[in-house]
């Protein structure tokens, strides 16, 4: 089984335009993500998928691999699908977020191990929630799992709702999981799900993975205790710089 790591990277971010090219400690963010992904032992190769010539040239300049893709894609999943059509010979794709310059390769390897089960067609990671701020933050999607470690539902609200319990007690009464936004797909499944129409649940929550569940796909989930800081805004970058990571 051959696994390809794809890093979708677009220039026109609403909250942080040009984000992949910002410098963090002397390296662009996209270079840091790429170099981290390359150390994941479960990946056979890594490529950046971008809609912008500037990002393409940047990746080539530091010796990385990159492919120019359409600027019409609505998600990183769609961008991954275009790339896998151009790069034959891979069985599984791992979609690595391009805004996590300090992603831990342990996370990538853990996701890849989900595909040692031939029944796994889609996979992602979750982490236990430990704070009320995180639990009630709508920008941090939550996940509930079944006994087969498959995702039942994703929501921006805390799920499950604990009937008859004060919200201050929820974390002591129930294990809650937050979604870690890294995905794996078997090639045929990736091509199939990107052909699906936007679903009502996806539209309601603003979470594309609900389209897959609503259409009958199972998403295997692995639990990690590792979490890294994404850069969504200039304020996130300043937080990282103050933290001493670089």
DSSP state of 162: -
Q: What is the CA radius of gyration of the chain?
A: 18
pLDDT in tens, 47-99: 999 999 999 999 999 999 999 998 888 899 999 999 999 999 999 999 999 88
Helix (H), strand (E) counts: the chain: 10, 11
CATH of domain 1-102: 3.90.550.10
Q: Dig out the tokens for 208 from the structure.
A: 């594309």
Q: Look at residues 33, 92, 41, 93 and name the one whose alpha carbon lies nearest to residue 62.
A: 33
pLDDT in tens, 26-43: 999 999 999 999 999 999
Q: Where in the chain is the domain with CATH 3.90.550.10?
A: 1-102, 104-227
Q: How many other C-beta atoms are found inside a 10 Å radius of the C-beta of residue 212? A: 24
Question: CA-based diameter of the chain, in Å?
Answer: 58
CB 68 within 8 Å of CB 56: yes
With tokens 């998928």, the residue in question is 49
Distances (CA, A) of 74 to 53, 207, 227: 18, 12, 25
pTM of the full predicted structure?
0.94
- Could you tell me the pLDDT band of residue 195, with boundaries at 50, 70 and 90? very high
Instruction: Give CA 126 to chain center in angstroms.
Output: 11
* 220 CB-side CA count, 13 A: 18
Interval 147-162 mean pLDDT = 97
pLDDT in tens, 97-121: 988 898 999 999 999 999 999 999 9
Distances (CA, A) of 83 to 38, 94, 131, 211: 18, 12, 38, 21
| Superfamily of the domain at 104-227 | Spore Coat Polysaccharide Biosynthesis Protein SpsA; Chain A (3.90.550.10)
Alpha carbons 5 and 16: distance in angstroms, whole number: 24
């Amino acid at each position: 089984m051959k696994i390809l790591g794809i890093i979708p990277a677009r220039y026109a971010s609403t909250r942080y335009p040009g984000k992949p090219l910002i410098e963090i400690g002397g390296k662009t963010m996209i270079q840091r993500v790429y170099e981290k992904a390359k150390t994941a032992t479960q990946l056979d190769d890594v490529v950046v998928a971008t809609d912008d010539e500037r990002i393409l040239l940047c990746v080539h300049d530091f010796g990385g691999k990159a492919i120019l893709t359409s600027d019409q894609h609505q998600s990183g999943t769609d961008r991954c699908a275009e790339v896998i059509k151009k790069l034959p010979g891979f069985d599984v794709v791992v979609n690595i977020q391009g805004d996590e310059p300090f992603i831990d390769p342990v996370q990538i390897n853990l996701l890849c191990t989900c595909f040692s089960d031939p029944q796994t067609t889609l996979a992602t990671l979750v982490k236990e929630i430990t704070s009320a701020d995180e639990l009630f933050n709508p920008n941090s999607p939550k996940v509930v799992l079944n006994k087969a470690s498959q995702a039942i539902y994703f929501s921006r609200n805390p799920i499950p709702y604990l009937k008859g319990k004060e919200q201050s007690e929820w974390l002591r009464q129930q294990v809650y999981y937050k979604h870690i936004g890294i995905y794996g797909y078997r090639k045929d499944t990736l091509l199939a799900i990107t052909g699906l129409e936007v679903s009502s649940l996806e539209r309601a929550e603003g979470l594309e993975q609900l389209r897959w569940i609503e259409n009958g796909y199972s998403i295997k989930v692995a639990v990690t205790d590792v979490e890294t800081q994404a850069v969504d805004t200039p304020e996130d970058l300043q937080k990282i710089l103050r933290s001493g990571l670089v």
